[in-house]
Amino acid sequence: LISTRVPAPKPWIEAIHAYVPGKSTGADGRPLIKLSANENPLGTSPAALAARASAVEPSLYPDPDSTSLRAALGELHGIDPARILCGTGSGELLGIAANAYAGPGDEVLYVRYGFSLYEIVARRCGATPVIAPDADYGTDVDVLLSMVSDRTRVVFVANPNNPTGSFLPRGEIARLHAALAPEVLLVIDQAYAEYVAPEDDDGALELAASQPNVLVTRTFSKAYGLAGERVGWATGPAGVIEVLNRIRGPFNLNNSAQAVALAAVQDADFVEHSRLHNLDVRASFVRAVEALGNHGLRALPSEANFVLVLFQGALTAEAAYQGLAERGYIVRWLPGQGLPQALRFTIGHARDMDTIAAALGEMAEAAK
C-alpha cells in the first residue's frame, strides 16, 4: 500500500512562499531582453571569463575555505581574511545569519519594500518577521527603530535597497547602529554597493570592522557580472564569522566560482567601468521618465543599477509591463511585494533604455 500521507513541514515553514526570481521570457515563452534581475548588461570581466576556462579539475572537491578568493577580497578592502566568509551568493549568507541569531519567539526586523528574501530567511528559522513602515518608499531610521522590541535579534537593511533603490547615508547607518542593543545583529546588505559613488560610501565596512554586532554582505552577482556563478561574501566580527562558518554549506563555492570570482576581484577596471556606465545610463533614463511626469510616472531616486518607477496615471504598471514584453523587454512587476503600481527597471544598455523610455511615452499617450 502506498500511503498518500507525507511528512508535515513545521508550521513556520508552511507559511513560506518560494522566492520569485526575475523572469527571462514572456508569457508565451519567447526570450526577451532581460532587465528584471539587476544583472550587469556589460556581462562579465574578460579576465574572469578566461579564468573560468582554466578552472581546476571537476572531479576534485573545491577548496572548502575559498582561501585565495578571501585573501584577494581582504587585500582589496583592507580586511583580515579571517573576518571574511564566502557564500553561495550573498543569499546563503543572509540565510545563515538569520539561522544563527534568530529562532522561534524572536523577531527579525526590516523595512516595507525591503528585499523579498528577508521574509523567507526570517520565517525559515522560525522567527517572526516584523516589517517597519516605509517613508515614501525609503527607510526612515527612527521609524525602523520604533519597531525594535526586546525580541528583536536581527535587523536587515539593504543599502542601496532593492527594489526601491533608496540609500541611507553614512550618518543614518551610524545612527541606526548606535541605537541598537549589542545583542541585536545589524546586517547591512550591500549587494549594490559597487554602484554607489565612492564619496557616498555608507561606512558599513568600517562598522563591520569595529563593532561587535555588524555584519556586511556583498555579492558578485551585480557589478561583477557573475550572477550565474553564485558568489557572495560577508565580513563582520571574527566571532560572528566563526559562527556562520560552522553552518554554511561545506564546499559552498565550486571550483569554477572560486576561480572566476578571484579573477574578477583583480579586475577593478571592469567594476569601475560598470559603475560609470550605470551612472550615465541611469541618469538619462530617470530624466526620460521624469519627462513623463504629466502622465503620472515617477522615478524614485536610486543609487543602484535599477530604478523603480511608479505609475500613478492612466497607464498602469501592469499595462506597461505587458506592452514592454510585446516590444521585447522583460522588467520586474512586483504585485506580490505590495507594489502593483510600480515597475523596476534594471539599467541596461543605453539603446535599450532609450527604447523603453520612448515606449513608455507612447503607451502613456495612448492610455490618456
Nearer to ligand PMP, 134 or 189 (CB): 189
Closest distance of CB 160 from ligand PMP, Å = 8
User: What grid cell was written down for 291?
Assistant: 519627462
10 Å Cβ neighbour count for 150?
Answer: 8
Q: What is the b/e burial string over 214-229, where b = at least 16 CB atoms within 10 angstroms of the residue's CB?
A: bbbbbbbbbbbbbbeb
C-beta separation of 248 from 87 below 8 A: yes
Nearer to ligand PMP, 302 or 364 (CB): 302
Rounded Cα distance, 360 and 354, in Å: 10
Does 158 bind ligand PMP (CB under 6 A)? Our answer is yes
Does 225 bind ligand PMP (CB under 6 A)? Our answer is no
Rounded Cα distance, 240 and 315, in Å: 48
Nearer to ligand PMP, 224 or 323 (CB): 224
Does 202 bind ligand PMP (CB under 6 A)? Our answer is no
For ligand PMP, the binding residue among 36, 139, 162, 274 (CB under 6 A) is 162
Amino acid at the residue 48? A
Residues contacting ligand PMP: total by CB under 6 A: 13
Rounded Cα distance, 167 and 193, in Å: 10
Does 157 bind ligand PMP (CB under 6 A)? Our answer is no
Residues 71-130 binding ligand PMP (CB under 6 A) are: 89-91, 115
Closest distance of CB 90 from ligand PMP, Å = 3
CB hemisphere CA count around 67 (13 angstroms): 3
- Residues paired with residue 85 on neighbouring β-strands, in sequence order: 234
Residues 170-189 binding ligand PMP (CB under 6 A) are: 189
* Residue 144 phi, psi (nearest 5): -60, -45
Q: Which residue is nearest to ligand PMP (CB)?
A: 89
**What H or E segment, with its residue span, contains residue 152?**
strand 152-158
Does 219 bind ligand PMP (CB under 6 A)? Our answer is yes
For ligand PMP, the binding residue among 62, 232, 236, 323 (CB under 6 A) is 232
Residues 327-366 binding ligand PMP (CB under 6 A) are: none
Give the footprint of ligand PMP on this chain (CB under 6 A). Answer: 38, 89-91, 115, 158, 162, 189, 191, 219, 221, 227, 232
